[in-house]
Amino acid sequence: MNERISLTSLRGKKWDGLMGRKPLEGIRVIDLTRVLAGPYTTMMLADLGAEVIKIEQPGTGDDSREFGPFKNGESGYYIFLNRGKQGMTLNLKEPRGRQILFDLVKISDVVIENFKPGVTRKLGIDYEQLCAHNPKLIMCSISGFGQSGPLSDRPAYDLVVQAMSGMMSINGYPDSLPLRTGISLGDMSAGSGIPGTKGERNRRAEPVPG
């Protein structure tokens, strides 16, 4: 069953853009992500002025709703990463849920997801399917090992990526074992190129001065 709620802003204070118009105002982003890498990316887009619509699965929502610390029964972790966004739930396993997503894609600029590679294809919401509804759509897929290649089917968290990249080997003390960095650097930089991608597409679309 699809559960739909009004697109009200999630709790969290928005940055008011003291310097005037924000660079991504007028851009609409569909956020299909969860936990950290994706939500952090879309949080930055919201801070830069984009309209971000976060879509969660009915019943459970984003996994990070269960991450502490908590205040008044709500996750501070979740609220921080999803500030300034709008929210709704859709069951993307049902035709009705997918149709609502397609309708949103038609009037949006960007879709960001961090499902395990192959999941969007199984759901019928992969790049080819979504671009059929909006040929100008930019889609960002965040995963540990890319969308193709020998390791692409493996899930990954930031700790795994830090270990396999060698980053942990240069962190810590000389006589200690490899140590994870204090922040999730991989997760927090995974989608950082999206604002530039949108800007570059707009630049190329502008007419060349005569």
Spatial distance between the Cα atoms of 14 and 17, rounded to a whole number of angstroms: 9
CA torsion sign, 194 to 197 to 202 to 203? positive
Q: Which one from 31, 62, 158, 187 is the annotated catalytic residue?
A: 187
Q: How far is CA 88 from the centre of its chain?
A: 15
- Pair of tokens at residue 133: 């509804």
Would you call 187 a catalytic residue per the annotation?
Answer: yes
HSE at residue 70, side-chain half, CA atoms within 13 A, is 8
How many other CB atoms sit within 10 Å of the CB of residue 49? 17
Spatial distance between the Cα atoms of 65 and 78, rounded to a whole number of angstroms: 5
Question: Catalytic residue numbers?
Answer: 187
